[in-house]
Amino acid sequence: MIKNKNQELRENRRQQIMQTAMELFVEKGFVTASVSDIAKKCGVSKGLMYNYFESKDALLKAILDDGMARIYGDYELPEPFDRAALHHFLDFSYTKYHEQSTFFRLYMSMIMQPQIYEVAVNIGQKERAIAMAVYNYFITNFENGLEEYFYFSTFVKGLNVLMTFHDESYPYLQMIERIKSQY
């Protein structure tokens, strides 16, 4: 019982550190936000931070892994991955975007920082499987599949950037419907 309570407290503190770091990484940028800044905002010592994460890079990786798991953990990759599956994936993704908007702001800012791009785009197995399903959909179903895939992914990434830096007045649902009408 005590061990479970200690594990729960440890996990709660770990989540607090990750949430605080995510907010500071979005606010200040990954390079500028220091471990000391995170510890201070969490109300813990810098040394205690290293009991949870061996480095700032490890903390970032944990945040990204946790965020991706919260987003895609309950997504079931349909077989076959057809037009309806692509549309469902778009709807699912943008619902999750709004549920996890702080994480998405962090992720989008991370992939735009060259010094940490590799950490930010190193996605997990499930995300890789989804990306491959989308890629294969375009390669299989369109004469110029690779070109269509690049167009689609450029549009979606651009939409992600716009949603990250604009408020709710941005017509993201209309944009999703428009891309769905094309594919």
Do residues 161 and 72 lie in contact, with contact meaning Cβ atoms separated by under 8 Å? no
Task: Note the pLDDT of residue 121.
Answer: 65
The span from the CA of 98 to the CA of 178, in Å, is 19
Q: Please write the tens of the pLDDT for every residue from 119-148.
A: 666 667 788 889 999 999 999 999 999 999
Q: What pLDDT, on a 0 to 100 scale, did the predictor assign at position 141?
A: 96
- pLDDT reported for residue 180: 95
Amino acid at 6: N
- Stretches in the chain below the pLDDT threshold 50: none
Q: Which residues, including other chains, have CB under 8 Å from residue 25's CB and lie 6 or more apart?
A: 33, 60, 63, 106, 109, 110
Q: What is the pLDDT of residue 122?
A: 67
pLDDT of amino acid 64: 86
DSSP 124-168: -HHHHHHHHHHHHHHHHH-TTHHHHHHHHHHHHHHHHHHHHHS-T
SS3 content of the chain, % helix, strand, coil (to 5): 80, 0, 20
Tens-place pLDDT, residues 73-89:
889 999 999 999 999 99
In angstroms, the CA 75 to CA 126 distance is 9
CATH assignment of 1-53, among 3.40.50.300, 3.10.20.30, 1.10.10.60, 1.10.1040.10: 1.10.10.60
pLDDT at 158: 86
- Say what the pLDDT of residue 94 is: 87
Distance CA 120, CA 129 (A): 17
84: helix, strand or coil: helix
Predicted local distance difference test score (pLDDT) of residue 37: 96
The per-residue b/e assignment along 17-34, b for 16 or more CB within 10 angstroms, e otherwise, is bbebbbbbbbeeebeebe
Q: Do the beta carbons of residue 22 and residue 36 sit within 8 Å?
A: no
Q: What is the pLDDT of residue 137?
A: 97
CA dist 182 and 83 (Å) reads 10
Give the model's pLDDT for residue 45.
92
